[in-house]
């Protein structure tokens, strides 16, 4: 985890995700890794299909940095607790990644990397925001059979994963793709396997 944090902290930011010089809402997400029943895993949520932003999308727990938060680390832990019932006392924060910009929601997002040394039960603690919570094994993310390139009607293409009944794409998939590379878990996969974003997913995404 320490090596991952060091590599991730120095990872270059894609030009499309570099924050603007000014503006944008500070936000944070928690990349929470633990030792699950199927080996090392990462905690993901599926956002509510009723939400206004990123409806129905798999994501890391997280949200905006509130004035009462002591920075992005505190915000990531607070949001994860609110969304999944996570006990922050069971998490050791090992580092942060460079700030990334999501233009659609105008968020400047700091990914916070944590090790779940004392796991607890998690669930959709905020049903208005979260439909489900899943611990996704790293081995399943790295499995070439679960990887593909997803093409948006705008012409943008990016990495995606089909795991545990979830189609992980966009910002979350991009971060996971980098983490797999930085951690050494990545396996060769067929980058020519390109699919269009499914219409039902696109319809939900267009509401955000």
By residue range, what is the domain housing residue 37? 2-205
Cα-based distances in Å from 20 to 13, 38, 159: 12, 40, 24
pLDDT band at 200 (very low <50, low <70, confident <90, very high): confident
pLDDT tens for each residue of 140-196: 999 999 999 999 888 889 999 999 999 999 999 999 999 999 899 999 999 999 999
Q: What tens digit of pLDDT does each residue of 100-154 get? A: 999 888 999 999 999 999 999 999 999 999 999 999 999 999 999 999 999 988 8
Whichever domain contains 8, its CATH number is 3.90.79.10
Q: Considering its fold, how many domains does the chain have in total?
A: 1
How does pLDDT run across 77-90, given as a tens digit for each residue? Answer: 999 999 999 999 99
Average pLDDT, the chain: 92
- C-alpha span between 177 and 69 (Å, rounded): 29
| Distance of alpha carbon 84 from the chain centroid | 14
* Ordered DSSP codes for 21-71: SS--EEEEEEEEEEEEBTEEEEEEEEE-TT-SSSTT-EE-SEEE--TTSSS
């Amino acid at each position: 985890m320490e090596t991952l944090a060091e590599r991730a902290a120095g990872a270059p930011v894609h030009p499309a995700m570099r924050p603007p010089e000014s503006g944008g809402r500070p936000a944070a997400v928690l990349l929470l890794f633990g030792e699950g029943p199927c080996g090392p895993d990462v905690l993901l949520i599926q956002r509510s299909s009723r939400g206004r932003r990123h409806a129905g999308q798999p994501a890391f727990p997280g949200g905006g940095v509130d004035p009462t938060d002591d920075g992005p680390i505190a915000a990531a832990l607070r949001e994860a607790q609110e969304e999944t019932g996570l006990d922050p006392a069971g998490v050791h924060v090992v580092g942060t990644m460079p700030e990334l910009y999501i233009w659609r929601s105008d968020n400047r997002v700091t990914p916070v990397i944590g090790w779940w040394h004392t796991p607890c039960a998690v669930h959709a603690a905020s049903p208005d925001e979260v439909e489900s919570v899943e611990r996704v094994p790293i081995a399943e993310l790295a499995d070439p059979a679960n990887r593909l390139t997803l093409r948006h009607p705008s012409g943008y293409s990016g990495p995606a994963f089909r795991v545990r009944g979830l189609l992980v794409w966009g910002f979350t998939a991009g971060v996971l793709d980098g983490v797999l590379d930085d951690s050494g878990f990545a396996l060769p996969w067929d980058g020519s396997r390109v699919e269009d974003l499914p219409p039902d997913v696109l319809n939900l995404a267009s509401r955000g």
